Copies of this chain bind each other. A is one copy, B any other.
């Protein structure tokens, strides 16, 4: 994540010692728990601190205000998600387009749905958070990772790889969100996922695959 966070959202200090890291982690976990159990509108600093087993005062040592906490939480989440997808992409350089797409969709889909409740509350926590920079940074990492991977496909040669890649990511990310936001039955989800892969492949083939 190489994009500077909006200045006012910087955590007051970056945790360095072991104990701090543990505390920060506990606070993150507590935040998610409170969001899950009580909902955004009951997400209060006191409740988070209590659940994290620290005092509000201490929490304010690490996060100068509530927004900073939510910002950091989203940052952590997107960082981890990007890590996972990047990792998958790297491991699929040079394979066939079909396998690439399957791998990409699977990686993203599973990351989002294996804890779909957490995904959902994180979305809700981001409302009214100035997290464009975060999204942007995430998008850039994804762009790079998938572009790099697609470029190594032995069975394809795209005229405008950047556009094709941007389209692909928008479609995949958008569809996944749409599917789990609508709370579709699991069997339908699985089928749509297969169809999504098929759609991407027919698109890529037509585009130079």
Residues of A within 8 A of B (CB): 39-41, 123-124, 127-128, 132, 135-136, 139, 163-164, 166-167, 170-171, 173-179, 181-183, 188, 191-192, 195-196, 198-200, 202-203, 205-207
Contacts and interface: CB of A to CB of B under 8 A. Distances in A.
A183 to B, nearest CB: 7
B183 A175 contact: no
Nearest to A43: B128
B191 A198 contact: no
B40 A195 contact: no
The 7 closest A-B pairs by CB, nearest first: A174-B174, A174-B178, A167-B195, A199-B203, A174-B175, A202-B202, A202-B206
A192 B175 contact: no
Given A127-B127, A203-B199, A203-B202, A179 B174 contact: yes
B163 A170 contact: no
A12 to B, nearest CB: 13
Contact of A196 (B171, B177, B202): B171
Nearest to A40: B128
**Among the interface residues A132, A170, A177, A199, which one has the most CB atoms of the partner chain B within 10 A?**
A170
A177 to B, nearest CB: 6
Nearest to A139: B182
Contacts of A167: 192, 195-196, 199
A99 to B, nearest CB: 18
Contacts of A182: 135-136, 139, 170
A192 B139 CA distance: 15
B177 A128 contact: no
A133 to B, nearest CB: 11
A173 B163 contact: no
Contact of A163 (B124, B135, B164, B192): B192
A77 to B, nearest CB: 16
A128 B171 contact: no
B192 A166 contact: yes
A170 B183 contact: no
